[in-house]
Amino acid sequence: MSDESSVQFSEREALLFHSEGRPGKIEIVASKPLTTQRDLALAYSPGVAVPVKAIADDPATAYDYTAKGNLVAVISNGTAILGMGNLGALASKPVMEGKAVLFKRFADVDSIDLEVATEDVDAFINCVALLEPSFGGINLEDIKAPECFIIEQTLRERMNIPVFHDDQHGTAIITAAGLINACLLTGRRLADIKVVVNGAGAAAIACTELIKAMGVRQDNVLMCDRKGVIHRDREGVNQWQSAHAAVTDRRTLVEALHGADVFLGLSAAGALQPEMVKDMAPAPIIFAMANPEPEIRPELAKAARPDAIIATGRSDYPNQVNNVLGFPFIFRGALDVRATGINDAMKIAAANAIAELARERVPEEVALAYGVQHSFGPDYIIPAPFDPRLMELVSVAVAKAAMDSGVATRPILDMAAYRQSLRARLNPTTSVLSLAYEGARARPKRVIFAEGEEEVVLRAAISFRDGGYGTPVLVGRDDVYDRLKALGIEDPSGFEVHNSRNSPLVPRMVDFLYARLQRRGFLRRECERMVNQDRNIFAALLLQLGEGDAMITGVTRAYAQSIREVKRVIDPEPGRTPFGIHILVGQSHTVFIADTTVNERPDAQELAEIAEQTAQVARRMGHEPRVAFLSYSTFGNPEGRWLDNIRAAVKVLDERQVGFEFEGEMAPDVALNPKQLKNYPFARLSGPANVLIMPGLQSANISAKLLRELGGDAMIGPMLIGMEKNVQIAPMTATASELVTLAVLAAGGIAR
């Protein structure tokens, strides 16, 4: 029920992680340039006086001129730190910093941790309430019950920004999402289920309140604590617990669980015994969320009741109840509509969105991260915490609910644009490629996946089809259908698979290939062998014969070998030089690097052609190209014998009068750093280059691979440009997502 993980590490490793380099886990980074006197004058005095006056006149403009609208305070007094109890405000700081990191990592919400050194409820409330001008939202954390109830409720009443105690509501939302799906799988309705909640603290009460708000009946819920069932005749319970006191003659957890449909455990390890599980209703639903050790281990619960659906707070078991599935995106949606609070409608919307996501196919990157191949079912009722789709689905659901329930002060008018902006916040690659994805959907194409027996390729083909980008055409043997079924495809026969051993196209392929290669020293039987045994040859022939619009390969062979095989079947486009482009995508920039894969030492004409074609690719991806021909030398300093080709290439583009900026020869720092570029006022680039033309394959390929391995930006490619047919050769390390990207680029017409 928390953000904890079962990953093992030593205490020393944990301390080193937090202490090495810059101590802690967060830092403040300026969002505006602060390199010059003018920058500082604008950022502070005297320039800052202008937005000060604007905000004084209209407080709402604080969201326009400051970071308030994307800033959340994570606040604690350290009275209930994780499962360790009251260790004080200062000891809670590593946890609060961690929470701030999660906000940024998962939802691009800026966050500052504040540790308040008081256990006095009124003092804490006054401290937090006075901070309202600084923040767009307040995330309360690790505050013990029952004080947390008073604190949150009072702050919600006093403050006009979202206040959210994640220990309560985050757990409740994820639990509710799992419960929705567990009921769906077992044919139950929320209105009919009988629920036992074991635990009467903050999270337990929040879970109980939320499921009741979603339709679970008051008289169908029994809450228990260490003393047993909380019932109407029992004394010594607080006002928050008494709100859930039941009219019942059951007094113990054992009695409460007799015939129960659901167990929600927010208590202690070992609280639920196997014999109690046996006494529950058929197909019992068990949420054992005590951390780090659940109320019952899933293997013990399964041994007692094989039909049980089980969730825990641990990452080493299926169905992890992890708050990170909710709170970043709940705040994202709330901040984006400037909500005045987070109400039940928004929580329910978040729970439904999370539940819906679990019913969709698991993306490849999530499968890799968790080593799972699950589709929706008893072992996958809650999506994995790193599912990238959470950002869009949950944030949108929360924003809509805020608008519908009247707490949004800035409604979103263009929801499609909002969805795109959410995708762009955390995955700039998606923003850059949005045109290609939309083009692929609008004009679906047939893409041949040459290595159709590889799991990563099959995952890519599934994603390509399910995304609506087109039809995947798989090359492989008969067991491809079995492999698809193992990946959760109910009807593998719906996929088109071509097997060279029995394809009726083989005779035509052999004729075609032999006609191409007979005067290059190849015998017919050699052509037959290549068609029958080489997947790249077979796939390329499928493309030549019109069975597909594009082809993807590369994960089983080196790039040079793959392109050599493809060229036996497919020629370069007449008048064009084939070459490769790597695309470097950062938060605020995109850079195209060419040629990174094909031409060892291009001459002037080839360099000019590569520059022109790369500029066209940049334009197709929505960028105005600024081309730099890179070298170790900047405009002849130092002189060298490798500069003539570059200078001649610049002259070629001059003669062609191409419609984009270009310049060279120049070193990378001059091409990319505006301050360096200013040293050459005659240079024709109006800003940093975004198309880098490399002088040779050695430097290009080394640079691209170094950037892929060491750089912090996303890397797309290589994209193969200039072939007669659209062929893309991925790196051997490509993930399914990268293969899909190449397929979409090909299908959408960006890579050609």
Is 586 annotated as a binding-site member? no
Question: Is 630:672 a contact under the CB 8 Å cutoff?
Answer: no
Is 599 annotated as a binding-site member? no
Q: What angle do CA 374, 379, 385 make, to 5 degrees?
A: 70
Gap between the Cα atoms of 641 and 718, Å rounded: 29
What is the C-alpha radius of gyration for the chain, rounded to an integer number of angstroms?
30
Is 214 annotated as a binding-site member? no
Is 223 annotated as a binding-site member? no
Is 291 annotated as a binding-site member? yes
Sign of CA dihedral 249, 254, 256, 261: negative
Give me the amino acid identity at 44. Answer: Y
Is 141 annotated as a binding-site member? yes
Q: What is the pLDDT of residue 2?
A: 47
- The contacts of residue 198 (CB under 8 Å, 6+ apart) are 204, 224, 253, 263, 264, 265, 266, 267, 271, 272, 295
Q: Do domains 11-164 and 436-567 have the same CATH topology?
A: yes
Architecture in CATH for domain 579-722: 3-Layer(aba) Sandwich (3.40)
Which DSSP state fits 95? H
Gap between the Cα atoms of 104 and 304, Å rounded: 42
Is 82 annotated as a binding-site member? yes
Which DSSP state fits 45? T
What six digits make up the tokens of 47? Answer: 């320039």
Q: What is the pLDDT of residue 469?
A: 86
Is 86 annotated as a binding-site member? yes
Give me the amino acid identity at 222. Answer: L
Run of H or E including 42: helix 37-43
Give me the amino acid identity at 728. Answer: Q
Is 64 annotated as a binding-site member? no
The yes-or-no answer on residue 32 being catalytic is: no
Which DSSP state fits 361? P
- The contacts of residue 322 (CB under 8 Å, 6+ apart) are 1, 2, 3, 174, 313, 315, 382, 385
CA-based nearest residue to 372, from 482, 283, 459 = 459
For tokens 């090359």, what's the residue? 475
Q: What is the pLDDT of residue 618?
A: 85
List the CATH code of the domain at 11-164. 3.40.50.10380
Architecture in CATH for domain 436-567: 3-Layer(aba) Sandwich (3.40)
Bridge partners, residue 579, by sequence: 721
- pTM value > 0.85: no
Is 87 annotated as a binding-site member? yes
Which DSSP state fits 70? G
Q: What is the mean pLDDT of each run of 10 residues along the chain (752 residues)?
A: 45 69 80 83 90 94 94 96 89 93 89 96 97 97 93 96 94 96 96 96 93 95 95 90 93 96 94 96 96 92 96 88 93 97 97 94 52 73 82 96 97 93 64 62 89 92 86 92 87 93 94 94 94 94 95 94 94 91 79 92 94 89 88 90 91 94 93 93 93 93 86 81 93 88 81 69
Is 110 annotated as a binding-site member? no
Terminal Cα-to-Cα distance of the chain (whole angstroms): 49
- The contacts of residue 363 (CB under 8 Å, 6+ apart) are 387, 388, 389, 463, 737
Annotated active-site residue in 32, 93, 99, 227: 99
For the chain, what are the domain ranges? Answer: 11-164, 436-567, 579-722
Q: What is the pLDDT of residue 210?
A: 96
Question: Is 582:718 a contact under the CB 8 Å cutoff?
Answer: yes
